[in-house]
């Protein structure tokens, strides 16, 4: 069972729950985005309100192992994300946190109050441009995304040389080479 701080539990027990998203993108440069109307400082990092955060998925809770991904859309006005995507961000970390707002609409930003709702890696970044707006779409992998990963390995001398040039275990594998093996009792 997940435990919450007293401040978070007070908000959860109230009639109205308001929250703000904090998104950390660890690309070639780090980006800190938030859905609040002003900058927020959390865990010694400043999350920017005017960062171009356009759209993001709500947290999804699942009781089964699945391949759900997480999507973040950022307005790419200054071409920062385009430049990052060209420099390759696939496999770079993404973290999404939720900070609840107290009764005075102030975010609870102590480390024990902020909830981690997604932690994953960039799977498929894309830029969309419809001549009215340019958007960077970042899709994060689910923790189970590697379950359907297929890696090809060629069982040949050359195939093994790509893995380890000193390994001679496949040196006798040739195309169209047949070997007769006696099976059973002699």
Residue 174 forms part of a structural domain: no
Local confidence band at 156 (pLDDT 50, 70, 90 cut-offs): confident
CA distance readout (Å), 38 to 50, 69, 76, 105, 111: 8, 28, 19, 12, 19
pLDDT tens readout for residues 20-51: 999 999 999 999 999 999 999 999 999 999 88
Report how many domains make up the chain.
Answer: 1
Residue 139 forms part of a structural domain: yes
Residue 11 forms part of a structural domain: yes
Residue 177 forms part of a structural domain: no
Say whether pTM exceeds 0.85: no
Local confidence band at 179 (pLDDT 50, 70, 90 cut-offs): low
Residue 87 forms part of a structural domain: yes
pLDDT tens readout for residues 55-72: 877 766 555 555 567 899
Answer with the residue of higher pLDDT: 69 or 176: 69
Residue 171 forms part of a structural domain: no
Supply the range of the domain harboring residue 21: 6-146
Residue 107 forms part of a structural domain: yes
């Amino acid at each position: 069972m997940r435990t919450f701080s007293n401040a978070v539990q007070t908000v959860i027990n109230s009639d109205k729950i308001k929250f703000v998203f904090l998104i950390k993108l660890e690309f070639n440069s780090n980006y800190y985005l938030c859905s609040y109307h002003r900058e927020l400082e959390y865990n010694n990092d400043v999350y920017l309100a005017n960062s171009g955060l356009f759209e993001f998925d709500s947290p999804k809770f699942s009781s089964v192992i699945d391949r759900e991904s997480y999507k973040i859309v950022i307005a790419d006005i200054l071409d920062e994300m385009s430049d990052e995507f060209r420099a390759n961000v696939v496999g770079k970390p993404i973290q999404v946190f939720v900070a609840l707002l107290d009764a005075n609409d102030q975010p609870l930003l102590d480390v024990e109050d902020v909830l981690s709702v997604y932690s994953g890696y960039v799977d498929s970044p894309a830029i969309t441009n419809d001549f009215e707006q340019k958007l960077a779409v970042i899709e994060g992998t689910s923790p189970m995304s590697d379950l359907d990963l297929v890696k090809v390995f060629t069982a040949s001398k050359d195939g093994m040389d790509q893995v380890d040039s000193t390994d001679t275990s496949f040196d006798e594998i040739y195309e169209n080479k047949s070997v007769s093996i006696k099976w059973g009792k002699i």
